Each structure stands twice: as C-alpha cells, then as structure tokens.
Chain A
C-alpha cells in the first residue's frame, strides 16, 4: 500500500513536472470560468504566481476590452465543445499582472475529469511571430510597387498602400475579397483557370509573358500593368505574392516614340518627294528657257542662269543630306564582330588622300561587336573632314582606337588649323559650316556623325585647344552588345 501510495505520489509529481516543462502555457478552467490548474509557463507568461490565479476567474487574464464579451463566448463553447483554435481570424491578446498585453494564440479542448467538465487552454506567446509579420508587412507597405497576397482561392489577405493607390480602393474594401475585383470583367473567367493552374505548379515568374496585362481601377479605368508572382508559405497555408507595377507611363512613352518615328518617316517621305519634284521642275524650266533663248543671249542672263543652276544643285544636295540626317536617327539593329584594324585601313584606302598628307594609325583593339555601317560612316566623315579642312604644311592625320571601359574610343587627330573655341559648340549642328560657300560640303558631316553615334549608344566629342594645333575628335562606341541599346 505504502509503496503503491508512494508510486502514486511520485506519479502525480511526475505529471506535474512534465506539465511545467511544457514550453506552452496550460490553463484548465471550470465551467464557471474559475481556474483549476495553471502550469509554470502560464505563470511566467502572465507574470502571476500560481496561488494568485488558482480559483480566480479566467477573465482576469484578458485585456478589459475583451473581458466583457468573454463570458458569453465561453458559454457558447460549452454548448458545443470541440478541439479548436480560439478566435479564428482575430488577433488575441493576454493581460499580464502588470497590465501589459501580449499577443497570443490559444488552443481549446474539452476535458472531463472525475465527472467534472473542464476546458483545457494551451497558450503560446506569439509576440516574436507578430514582430516578424509586422516587419514583413512594413517592408511590403513601404514598397513603391503594388503588392498583394492572395490565398489559393484568390482571396486578398494582404495589400499595400501602393496597390491601393494604384487601384483607388481603401484597404477595407479589398481585404477578404476576391482579387477578381482588380481585373477588367472580361478577364475574370479566364483568370480563375490561370490562377488554379498557377496554384498547381507555383513558381517565381512574371505573369502573362508576351501579353499586355490590364488592371481595373475602382472608377472603371483600365491600367496597363506588369505582374511578378511568387509562392509564399504562411501559417495560413500557401499564398501567392503578386507584385504589380503600373506601366502606363512607359506605355505612353512607347506610344509617343512610335508616333514620333512615324512622323519622321512621313517627313522623310515629304522631303524625298514633295520637295524634290518642284525643284526638278524648276531645273527643267531653267534649262528650257536657256534652250529657247538660243545663241544671242546677253552675258548677264547666261551668268544668272548659271547662278540659278548652282543654287538648284545646292538645294538638291541639302534635301539629300536632310534625308540622310533623318535616317541617321534610326538605329541599325544588326551588330556583328568588326575587325578594327580592317575597318580603319578600309576607311583610309577608300578615301583619296593627297600625296603630301601623312596618315598614321594607332590601333590597340582587335575586335568590337557593333553595327558596322553607321560606325564606318561616322569615322569616314571625321576622316574626310580632317582631310578637307587641312590647308597647313606637313599635314598629318592620326586614326587611333583603344578600349575604354565598355566602349571603344576612336580618335581622329589632325594638326590642321583647329576649330576656334567660339565655334566648337556649333560644329555638330545641322548645316553649320565654318568655311564660306566655297567649301564643298553642306555642313552635314559632323551633325550626321553625332546623330549616328548617339542613336547607337555612343558619344562624340571635339577636343581642340589653343595650346596645341589641330583638333581631335573622340568617338566612344559601345564595344559589346548592350541590352538597353540592342533590345
């Protein structure tokens, strides 16, 4: 008997110690709400000693704002006792002895012991988890991109201010509702199937590849958007985080650019046809007048007819150059491997170089990846410019190429007259010549070089100073294919 008693006592002790060792608070309450048992973790959680709580009402552990309602909730649980979490979907808090609060999660289960109906509550302090959740939602809230978390059924669980601003809703209007409200009606049916498909094989990816995605603002306006999806594991099961970006601005720019290009195209056409035809007519008429005048024409008339013809020729060349310039804004898309030494030699060979010119090369790069034709045009223009404007003695022109970061730096250096500082700014402008009309060019060479260089992602600069004779043109041309330029 004694042994048995001993055993029983030690068995109770063991059970008690075991319950005290559980890292969750355990409180057993009677039907009237009085506390019949509390373990060590529960003491610690609420900051009371065991004897301060035993036989006290459980409501003393609740914040005052919840305690009034709690008694009736307790009664309804007793009507239909089951094993479940308390307060599904609501945030629960406990109140410590010092009146401070902490977030908690409570599991309930009914227990009948020695004929008495009891309720066992298991309590976990979720302060840390709450902090993490809050930190995550602070990060999401601070994002400049719209973000929303939806569950497997497409119900919105979390939504950030950027997204609310983008779609024009208040938080309360969206939380707990189907995300379909954010789609134009015509897409809703199709979207459900796509969403179900995504839930089957979730992955981190952009949504609707190759399609234009559209969202629906509260006021019915449709918004072009881009969406990234990623699966997220949460306590409440697997969810999908969608990051939504408003691309209206980009779409508008794209459209503007397209229209600008179309206008340029039209301008090119007008220049090529509508300006040329009447000019051709004038040239013909002048010729017929000359023919009809016959032999005995006053010298002044012949002279003036000649002057008209010179101007017609100049006008025709201007129109051609204008066309060239307009077309230079269009980027060549095909980049190929360009052998730099070959490119430079080719430019020199193709150009008639007067015998007294000394041409030097300094090539320190073998190959670049670029659109060859425009690059060649730019360098040829600079080279011919250097030849054309050099009237000094012992003329020398150096062509060099070297790597410079992700660019190839080409230099065309001459020891000619140089360009006066005051004129340096306008040399790259259209139809600006430094010489008077005797010069053979229309003044398009450098403007064309600049436009071609810039439309292919490069840069061109004139280096000329009073200390050194001559001038030097530097051209930085991208030497690798670049996404922002080639895409």
Chain B
C-alpha cells in the first residue's frame, strides 16, 4: 500500500551546486521524487503555505533543510514551522555540512526526523538516495 506512494520533496538550500548535487544524486540512483527547490527559509515557508507566486507542493511531502542560509536560516525556519498549526507536523530532515554538536542538539529539539551530515551521506549523496527510497517504501506519511 505504501510502497507506491509518491513523496514530494522540498529541498531548502541556498547553494545551487549543493542543491543540484542532491538532484543529480537522486536522478543517478533512479529515485524519481518530484523536487521543489527553495533558496531559503522564507521561500520554503511561502511554498508550504501556498502563497508562493510560482511554486507549490502537495502532500505528502518531506523537507530536506540546510541550516546555514541567508534571510531565514534553518533553525528559524524550523521554529516557524513548529509554531504554525497547519505545518507543525511536517517531516523535516536536516541536511547540512555542520557536524557541530550544538547544531545537532538544537535541530533535534525542533523534532526533526533526522540529522544528515553531507559528508557522511556518501559520495554523491548515494546514501541519501537509498534512505529516501526505503523511506518511501516503508514509512507511512501524514496526508
């Protein structure tokens, strides 16, 4: 039943190369999630709240969130989402270069689904692709 569910991904990252890495990795590993790209927390919130002029996303979705971004960073975004009653149950993975304990602890305080350090999700994000693939096939998400 869940094996064929479609998951939309909202990728929030200000670095276009880093974002493209994720996209390429998923494509290379034949994981065909529709991906929407937001360049910072502000844009991501607009998309989730359906107030963005061009972009939108449908449920079920999950968010891959970078931490260090201009305008609204990852932590600020998490805080906004958790205090928004329409969005507070969003599934959010943090995907960052920072392996600082302080960041990890602070991110989990915001009830994230997982903290992924970019350097440890394998060459070309291969582990990220397989994680997402098995996530889709085994986890039932809120609709």
Chain A residues with Cβ below 8 Å from B18 are 277, 280-281, 284
B16: min CB distance to chain A, Å? 9
Pick from B67, B98, B118: contact of A280, CB under 8 Å? B118
**A274-B68, A276-B119, A277-B68 given as contacts; is B98 within 8 A of A269 (CB)?**
yes
Alpha-carbon distance between A162 and B96 when the two chains are bound, in angstroms:
57
Cβ-defined contact, B15 with A268, below 8 A: no
Alpha-carbon distance between A47 and B115 when the two chains are bound, in angstroms:
98
Chain B residues with Cβ below 8 Å from A259 are none
B61: min CB distance to chain A, Å? 25
The dominant DSSP class at the A interface is helix
Cβ-defined contact, B24 with A288, below 8 A: yes
Chain A residues with Cβ below 8 Å from B98 are 269, 272-273
Chain B residues with Cβ below 8 Å from A274 are 68
**A277-B15, A281-B18, A285-B17 given as contacts; is B100 within 8 A of A268 (CB)?**
yes
Which residue of chain A is the closest to B118 with respect to CB atoms?
Answer: A280
Alpha-carbon distance between A274 and B17 when the two chains are bound, in angstroms:
14
B125: min CB distance to chain A, Å? 10
Pick from B15, B119, B124: contact of A281, CB under 8 Å? B15
Which residue of chain A is the closest to B14 with respect to CB atoms?
Answer: A277
Chain A residues with Cβ below 8 Å from B68 are 273-274, 277
Q: How large is the interface on B (under 10, 10 to 19, 20 to 34, 35 or more residues)?
A: 10 to 19
| Chain A residues with a Cβ closer than 8 Å to the other chain, count | 14
Number of A-B contacts (CB under 8 A): 40
Interface hub of A268, A276, A284, A287 (most chain B Cβ within 10 A):
A284
Complex interface residues of chain A between 187 and 225 (CB less than 8 A to chain B): none
Chain B residues with Cβ below 8 Å from A273 are 67-68, 96-98, 100
**A277-B68, A281-B17, A284-B17 given as contacts; is B100 within 8 A of A272 (CB)?**
yes
Alpha-carbon distance between A276 and B96 when the two chains are bound, in angstroms:
10
Interface hub of A268, A273, A278, A285 (most chain B Cβ within 10 A):
A273
Which residue of chain A is the closest to B25 with respect to CB atoms?
Answer: A284
Chain A residues with Cβ below 8 Å from B17 are 281, 284-285
Which residue of chain B is the closest to A277 with respect to CB atoms?
Answer: B97
Complex interface residues of chain A between 277 and 302 (CB less than 8 A to chain B): 277-278, 280-281, 284-285, 287-288
Cβ-defined contact, A280 with B100, below 8 A: no
Beyond the given pairs A273-B98, A276-B119, A280-B21, 13 more chain A to chain B contacts, judged by CB atoms under 8 angstroms and listed by A's residue number, are A269-B98, A269-B100, A269-B102, A272-B97, A272-B98, A273-B67, A273-B68, A277-B68, A277-B97, A280-B97, A281-B18, A287-B124, A288-B24
